[in-house]
Structure 1
Amino acid sequence: MEKPSAAAMAPQLLRNLIISALFFADKALLYLPVKWQLLDKLRFLLVSCFLFFLRSLPSVFCPDADSSKAFKFSSKNHESTDLSPTSAGGGDSGIARAISQLLSSMNEIPVSSRKYEVVRSLAERLIDENRGENSASLIDVNRRVLTASFARTLGRLEAAVERDRPRDLGEPIRYGLNRVVRVAMRAVGDGLTGKGGEEAEQWSAEKLAAEVLWLSEKMVTCGFGEEAVEKWASASSLARLALWAEPRLQGSMVQISAFLFKQVKEMGKGEGGEKDKWRLTKKKMLTSWLPLLCRASNGAEKPFLRTVEQTKLERVLEETISELKIEDQEQVLSLWLHHFTHCSSSDWPNLHASYARWCSSSRKIFLFQSK
């Protein structure tokens, strides 16, 4: 085999050096965009310009492949910069890649765009068609792409809530002024870039919360809502941030919690290790999201849940608590009592019956052990 000449190797070597340098430069900025939006835009501009440069000179830098697929960029809060549609966990099949790409695009497109409903409807149709085929392989495709999309959207939601949370919880007035300044600066930036607020809407926490709810519903419909429940139960950091979120966003997360709590009671019907696993998941679900249910303002103008829904959810919570071990019941009910009694704007959920039953059980155990 004839060895390549130095002249032929030079463009390839230069290309590899440039890609490596850009990769490490991009990696150094991974944790900055959450606090400094200007750096995020600068990073996106540099990456876009370099991709355009490679695409415009394919014969010099990348003669054998599409330069737009030459490399990937990862980001903690902007997974969408990964150029590979399989990055969402969709597998190797074309249908998996198609659904993954649609779900990823749904995160990117503002709700006000006409394209948003088109993309979401197409993704929903493909998911429903996979489910209608009664094929184990297609069901597994749905499971993987929806689970990956749920995890990605949940991560973005937490980043968005973290971005907007008050840094000094003891000074709500200053927090309000800071929000006004941020909104004004964002409006000026949109005026300069001509985006008209679409970027703010694209990454808004309310939009992402609505997509988490939609994904939860699709996962339950497809028969694997347990993945959504596990991930939501484990989102303890997001649950803490939600206590200081704006009322409308709190309402969205209350609705997600209410929907997934209803799925919890149907799980863990097995025996042994499986039952213990779901008992732990139920405890995590309660300790993570029960404080928000107690402290959410419950809608000054419009209730987050109707009275009937509140009553049904109270029953679900009582049943879920009753399935825990006695020591876990104490931990959950103590947490409930703390937040319930310290929130003056809401008297829901009222779990006094569960608390009374736990006290009665604890008394019986004490009397038995004292004999």
Structure 2
Amino acid sequence: MTESTPAATPFILRSFILPLLIYTDESILNLINKFKLIETVRYIIITAFTFFLNIISSALNSDTYSNSGGYSYGYGKCTDAGDGRLQDDTCIARALNHILAIVNEIPVSSRKYEIVRSYAEKLMDENLEVEYEPLRRVNAVALAGAFSRTLEQLEMAAAADGGECDGEEYSGEDAVKKNSGGGYFVVLDRVVKTVGYFGDVAWTRFVKGKTRFGGSGEKLAAELLWLAKKLKDCGSVDEAVCQWASASKLGFVALSAQPRLQGSLVKLSVYLFKQVASMGSEDDEEGAMEELRKVKMKMLMSWLPFLCRSSIGTDAPVLSINEKTELENVLGELIMCLKHEEQESVLSLWLHHFTHCLSSDWLNLHQYYASWCTTSRKLLILDDK
């Protein structure tokens, strides 16, 4: 496969196939009410198209994974709190799962939304007040499942409502691979991301257009923040952290999201970055610390590009000057916890997106980049001796 072949695939999808499908779909909508057969044919065509996109995405994803040593969009979990097999068969667990699902479905504009959400909070608070470990686990399992479900819906909502996917934008490891000469894998990664992006847009636009997601992306992002805080209350915030760290696909789609949704994602990212920075202690086992280091690395690589390029408010700033400075310090601490080579990857990623974003001077990680350069210089001198 030449570099021009995969590079042309996103262009063809974006410029020809998807616009043609949308135009054709809009042209026949008026006929659907008169001819049921047309609606059936429309559904078959759209389903076949999205299935075709998924096949391409899966094939390219598998190829990229096998050649680059690992590549995934999945929402991994770092504990077994989201397993759901321990307490899901109890009445109280089913009740909590049910009420959290209803919270997810009801639009925030409904007068019943706050009522149902208060029911959920009351139920979870009462579970914790008993101070009985299985009940705490009930909360953790239900919340982890709700967080995963809402995160998936947010990803689809962001893909459907976002702006045009810019072919020149890089996220995650793309900039690092580009700078290190991995041009072929960069192209493949971008094809996988772009095909997945348009697959989500097409599926959401055509097949799931009539499905209720309980509101806008802003509502879903606010709900994720609420779920993360409730997970912290029951001692399982690591579930939210691990899922957010693995949401690299959402981090990519968020680059072109609407400003108001970006603002909500900034707040959620800030909260979870603070949580991951407070995780771990000197008493933890070496294996646990190694896993935590990997989570920190993944989270930085998934969300640094978004933070560098996101809108920092429309009518009013999302973060104050003090909050921005605090987050920069938190990110600096996380970077310094990584191995020297990992710091290079993260800081190279930051420098790429920081310098290519002309609208903002945030994030300011210059001191950490300078510190890394100083350490690198000392290591070179030591190696020569």
| TM-score, with structure 2 as normaliser | 0.66
The answer (yes or no) to whether the contact 1:229–1:264 under 8 Å persists in 2 is yes
> Any conservation in 2 of the 1:219–1:228 contact (CA below 8 Å)?
yes
Residue 90 of structure 1: CA displacement? 5.9
User: Quick check: 1:88–1:145 contact (8 Å CA) kept in 2?
Assistant: no
Runs of at least 5 residues in structure 1 that lack an aligned partner in the other structure: 1-24, 36-85, 172-181, 194-198
Q: Corresponding residue for 2:350? A: 336
- Name the counterpart of 1:95: 92
1:256-275 equivalences under 5 Å are 256-269=268-281, 270-275=284-289
CA RMSD across the alignment: 2.9
1:265 aligned counterpart, secondary structure? helix
2:357 aligned counterpart, secondary structure:
coil
Q: Is the 8 A contact 1:157 1:209 kept in 2?
A: yes
Mark the CA change 1:214 to 1:287 in structure 2 (over 3 Å): closer, same or farther.
same
| Contact 1:89–1:145, Cα closer than 8 Å, also in 2 | no
Q: Distance in 2 between matches of 1:99 and 1:260?
A: 24
Q: Are 1:290 and 2:304 counterparts? A: yes
Structure 1 residues 261-270 or 143-152, which shifts more? 261-270
User: In the aligned structure 2, how far is the partner of 1:168 from the partner of 1:243?
Assistant: 8
Classify 1:312/1:88 alpha carbon distance in 2 versus 1 (closer, same or farther; 3 Å). Answer: farther
Post-superposition offset of 1:202: 2.5
Distance 1:146 1:170 in 2: 36
2:263 maps to 1:251: yes
2:214 aligned residue: 202
2:369 aligned partner: 355
Cα deviation, residue 268, structure 1 = 2.8
1:164 shift after superposition:
2.4
Structure 2 counterpart of 1:276 = 290
Structure 2, unaligned runs of 5 or more: 1-39, 51-82, 169-200
Q: Name 1:366's counterpart in structure 2.
A: 380
Matched, 1:241 2:230: no
CA contact (8 A) 2:308 2:362 kept: yes
Q: Which has the higher contact order (CA 8 A, sep 6+)?
A: 2
Q: What is the aligned-residue identity percentage?
A: 51
- Decide whether aligned partners of structure 1 residues 32 and 112 sit closer, same or farther in structure 2, where only a CA change above 3 A counts: farther
Q: CA deviation at 1:241?
A: 0.4
Cα distance, 1:169 vs structure 2: 3.3
Task: Give the equivalent residue in structure 2 for 1:145.
Answer: 142
Alignment match, 2:337:
323
Counterpart residue type for residue 301 of structure 1: D
Residues 343 and 107 (structure 1), Cα distance of their counterparts in 2 relative to 1, 3 Å cut: same
Corresponding residue for residue 114 of structure 2: 117
CA distance in 2, matches of 1:93, 1:126: 14
Quote how far apart the aligned CAs of 1:295 are: 0.4
Q: Answer whether contact 1:88 1:149 (CA < 8 A) is retained.
A: no
